[in-house]
Amino acid sequence: MKSSSLKKTKKAGRTIHASPPFNKGGTGGIFGAKQQLNELQIDMLREIANIGACHAANALSQLVQKRIMIHVPRISKFSLSDLSDIFNGPETLVAGLYAPVSGEISGNMLFLLSSKDAFTIVDLLWGRPMGETKALTERDRELLRQASNILIASYLMAMTKFTGMTSSAAPAAVAFDMLGAVFDAIAVEVNARTENAVLVETNILETADKVNGLLFFMPDVDCLDKTLQKMRVES
Amino acid sequence: MNSKSLRVGIAELKTAGNPKILTTPALGSCVAVVLYEVDLKMGGMAHVMLPDSNKSRKKQNAAKFADTAIRQMIRALERKGASKERLVAKIVGGAHMFNGNNGLVRDIGMRNVEAAKNILKQEGIRIISEDTGADYGRSVEFHTCDGKVFIRSVKGKKGI
């Protein structure tokens, strides 16, 4: 993760940090053997994701009234083995908020929080003293769901404006369960709709209370091709 | 993890003799199909992702689909000397992990479970126990020494 030369943008009185373009991330073969993304396409995708994540972070910032940072999106082939290392293994308890995305850009969105971070976000959203939430009630889940809806909608809206392609998310669904089981269900969703997907991963950080959320955007490859073509024509 | 245990990843299938423990961590909407041959204390586990290979363009990985995975596992066990008549099955998983968006997420978990049951029925293999559906993930451990299957989840531990 890079923290040097951070770019600052003032938005709604709060600061959003966005890191500069990231190196390749070392994951080749994004589209499998047949289609490889070239450097220009990766840059375009990262730019789209960056704008989306920036707006999502800004929305979260307004919700929790705290400064939110983002890291530059990491782009890789959709692969579960890469993901199992995050947090503490497949049986770690996490909150996963999932929404299918449809429109000219289609795919899946997932906002992932460790159980501790989910409790912290719930504390922040309710304005409770830190550490008060120790389990998620129905109302807490509903609150997380609504917050995620705003986060995801902000991401997609920014992306839609930038690319000129339509895209909207269904209301988020929540799972509070083992990390592996959440990924397992997402992998099934991705595989049921497309043979190939790209994983765009952004860290969303709230530094004061050390919340680290992971926002995953998994666009279907077919629609991504069209988006990138359109953007190239226009640029 | 000791040498006695063998991990079955997503869209994988493995068979083993005695004594071995086949494990698969954290099933969501995927289904683990366990086949056990009582006399030879031999068995297999498949971590199935989707119900039907005929609905997919890419079919290379047989272990990904309920239909092809179960049939391939039967053949693999038969090659090792198992008799199909003595095989029994246990199935785990197929949860509907994400609640709350008014059925917009298709319940693939349930379809996976139904597909696995159908194929097992067609193959004439009896399902002796199952822990499927609901809305929570499950980790599975299958012991070939006695055919027991242990499940860990947010609801606690149990054996089937």
Assess if residue A61 is contained within a domain.
Answer: yes
Least confident of A16-25, A75-84, B35-44, B69-78: A16-25
Would the pLDDT of A123 be above 90?
Answer: yes
Using H for helix, E for strand and C for coil, what is the string for A126-167? HCCCCCCCCCCCHHHHHHHHHHHHHHHHHHHHHHHHHHCCCC
Q: What percent of chain B shows pLDDT beyond 90?
A: 83
Q: Is A181 on the interface with B (CB under 8 A)?
A: yes
Q: Which domain holds residue A104?
A: 7-234
A69 in a structural domain: yes
Over 60: is that where the pLDDT of B101 sits?
no
User: Mean pLDDT throughout B77-90?
Assistant: 96
pLDDT tens for A84-120 read 566 678 889 999 999 999 998 888 999 999 999 999 9
* Residue B94, pLDDT score: 96
Contact assignment for B10 to A189 by CB distance below 8 Å: no
Average pLDDT over residues B7-28: 93
| Token pair belonging to A87 | 């947090």
**A86/B contact by beta carbon, under 8 A:** no
The answer to whether A193 contacts chain B (CB < 8 Å) is no
Domain ranges of chain B: 5-155
Give the pLDDT confidence of B121-141 residue by residue, as tens digits.
Answer: 999 999 999 999 999 999 999
- Position A32 scores a pLDDT of 37
The CATH number of the domain covering residues in B5-155: 3.30.1330.200
Flag whether residue A185 sits within 8 Å of chain B, measured between CB atoms: yes
Q: What's A13's domain CATH number?
A: 3.40.1550.10
> Cβ(A45)–Cβ(A27) under 8 Å?
no
Do the domain assignments include residue A83?
A: yes
Mean pLDDT of all residues in A145-166: 92
Inform me whether the pLDDT recorded for B115 exceeds 90: yes
B26·A91 Cβ contact <8 A: yes
Q: What is the pTM of this model?
A: 0.83
Over residues B55-60, mean pLDDT: 77
Instruction: Take residue A135 and report the two structure tokens written for it.
Output: 């389990």
pLDDT of residue B6: 94
Q: Is residue A2 part of a domain?
A: no
**Complex confidence, ipTM:** 0.89
User: What's the number of domains chain A is made of?
Assistant: 1
Percent of chain A with pLDDT over 90: 37
Burial label, A163 (beta-carbon count in 10 A; 0-12, 13-18, 19+): buried
Residues in chain B within 8 Å Cβ distance of A100: 104-105
Instruction: Assess contact for A111 and A215: CB atoms under 8 A.
Output: yes
Q: How confident is the model at residue B160, as a pLDDT?
A: 93
Which of chain A's residues have a Cβ under 8 Å away from the Cβ of B100? Answer: 141-142, 145, 171-174
Task: Assess contact for B148 and B36: CB atoms under 8 A.
Answer: no
B26: nearest CB among A100, A179, A192 = A179
Q: Give a yes or no: residue A204 inside a domain.
A: yes
- Which of these, A208, A202, A191, A179, lies nearest to A70 by C-alpha position? A202
Q: What is the pLDDT of residue A41?
A: 74
Given pLDDT bands bounded at 50, 70 and 90, which one contains residue A222?
Answer: confident
Contact map slice: A 130-159 vs B, CB within 8 A: 141-142, 145
Predicted local distance difference test score (pLDDT) of residue A4: 34
Mean pLDDT in chain A? Answer: 78
Q: What is the model's pLDDT at position A84? A: 58
| pLDDT confidence of residue A231 | 72
Examine the pLDDT at A218 and tell me if it is beyond 70.
Answer: yes
